[in-house]
Amino acid sequence: GLYEMASILTESNDFTGRLAEFLEKLSGQLGLERLAILRIEKNAGETEDIEQNINFTILAAHNLKPSLLQQMFRSVSSRMQMQLSQATDIFAADLETQRPPTLSFEEKDGSSRELFCIPLLVEGQPSHVLLVSRRYLDEDTLQASKHYRFLYLVSQNLSMAIERENMIRQISDEQDMLFKSNQRNVFFLEISKDLTSTLDPYTILQKAFSNFNNVIGFTTIAILLFDDIENNYRLIVQPDEPVSVLYQKKLSEQIFGLFSDFPADPPLTQSNFCKPVFFKPQKHHGRPATDYKHTLHLPVVIGDKVRGLIHLTRSSDKPFSNSDLDSTSQFTGIFITSIKNALIHKRTEKLAFTDPLTELFNHRYFQETLNHEFTRAKRYTKPLSLMLIDIDFFKKFNDTYGHLVGDKVLRHVATVFRSSVREQIDTVARYGGEEFVVVLPETSLEGASRFAERIRAAVENSRVIDKNRELAITLSIGVACTSVTMCEKPSDLIEASDLALYRAKDTGRNRVKMYKESKLKNAK
């Protein structure tokens, strides 16, 4: 019988199923009523109530429901702990035939039971227990000794089986961890390759976020980062799935509040916090998530200064783990290097493409952007509109008030233009002197005209303050569009806008005129 039972424990199938089969066999072998194998766990900290100091997990049970086992356990747990403290003495060779530690137990019907409590030494510690219950029976001493010895021998086999299973599980967990680590390193290598292929900060972030989702599952990943060029903090969020407006609002407010407590340089304030940018979700199906349950965040340190925050959320019940934190830390180190390089490139690029007085893009950048957008509009058959803007009677400001006032006027209208255009879509630039241009991708002639009118009205209603003087400014604006006028090259669109600007000046200034002819030769 002992060999047959040991054979059950050494089989390679499901360990829990083997334990249940083992208990059923043991019950039949010794005529036992109820059996259970428990893993005993002591609670952290000391408590006066011994019964509250230990918990158990059922590994397997025979003819014993968890509710009844819980009742039995509460009844004998304090005495069981005392037995466990003496567990190493129980296995002495001369005690193998003696009665195991026995605890009395009373069933609901009032009948008495003996509860054998046999500690199982696993890795030298009494961390498991074999519980056996039976009626009080008068039996001869010799037969009882045989039963006791059989229980001790069985318990030793059981201890070795549990220890072996723990070892197998540990090896499996380590192999799984090694596999995940290798997979993570492969993903990080791919992320590194992708990030070195571009110097555009937005493209870097989109690629990094997309690839990192293969390493850690998240609902949103966000980066708050200080922009040295614009001198403000930008929050960029990549949802993995659709998220509601309430979700976006809560996320933005939490990140703002969280980072406000960081020793950031410079500190985050409402005035230097830009409107958050939410990329399109990587998955477009499903109902938008309305809230999140778990967060993970790490500060972004550039040089020796805290310049931002990386923040992840999960709407599922699964919390972030320490492994997720390690992966996020490694990921942050990779993409921050790329972001720093991109920001240096962007700063250098801005110096090359920015007008130093107005801090708008210069004529060179405008020409490059127009060429790019013109080609794209042709390829995808999309409208491209252009506004050409002139400050009315600008020479008067220079001649009457001096060039310093003239410079102040230029900076003033540049500020109005910058706050009016669509960020990351439109391009506003200084064309030369007192003339400015605005490139409007995928915008119709009528849409561009309405936009130009809003800019014209905004400037007219504003004032430049100089030495307690309020100086009024007006604009003349010409608008043209490729979907109305046939333009074979970018310069044709500039010419059409210029002709419309000429008409605005010729008809009284301080107005917007559209070029509506289909061909340039029909002008005048």
Please report the pLDDT score of residue 303 as a whole number: 77
Give catalytic residue positions.
Answer: 434
Contact 59, 15 (CB under 8 A): no
Buried b (16+ CB within 10 A) or exposed e, 132-159: bbbeeeeeeeeeeeebbebbbebbebbb
The reported pTM is: 0.45
Q: Which residues contact 216 (CB under 8 A, 6 or more apart)?
A: 312, 320, 324, 327, 328
Please report the pLDDT score of residue 331 as a whole number: 77
Please report the pLDDT score of residue 388 as a whole number: 97
CATH number of 2-169: 3.30.450.40
Please report the pLDDT score of residue 140 as a whole number: 59
Same fold, 2-169 and 201-349: yes
Please report the pLDDT score of residue 368 as a whole number: 92
Q: Return the number of other C-beta atoms located less than 10 Å from residue 186's C-beta.
A: 12
- Domain residue spans of the chain: 2-169, 201-349, 363-522
Q: Residue 95 gets which letter from DSSP?
A: G
Buried b (16+ CB within 10 A) or exposed e, 237-269: bbbbbbbeeebbebbbebbbeebeebebeeebe
Please report the pLDDT score of residue 90 as a whole number: 46
Please report the pLDDT score of residue 98 as a whole number: 64
Per residue of the chain (524 residues), give pLDDT as tens.
677 777 888 776 788 888 888 888 888 888 888 888 888 876 655 444 444 556 778 888 888 777 766 666 665 555 555 555 554 454 444 445 566 767 666 666 777 777 777 888 888 788 888 888 765 555 556 777 777 788 888 888 888 888 888 887 877 776 666 666 666 666 666 666 665 555 566 666 777 777 777 778 899 999 898 887 778 898 989 899 999 999 999 999 999 999 998 999 899 999 999 889 888 888 877 889 999 999 999 998 877 889 899 999 999 999 999 988 988 888 777 767 666 666 666 667 667 788 989 989 999 999 999 999 999 999 999 999 999 999 999 998 888 889 999 999 999 999 999 989 887 789 999 999 999 999 999 999 999 999 999 999 999 999 998 888 889 999 999 999 999 999 999 999 999 999 999 999 999 999 999 999 999 865 44
> Yes or no: is domain 363-522 CATH 3.30.70.270?
yes
Please report the pLDDT score of residue 338 as a whole number: 66
- CATH class of this structure's domain 201-349: alpha beta
CA distances from 463 to 76, 388, 452, 470 (A): 87, 22, 18, 6
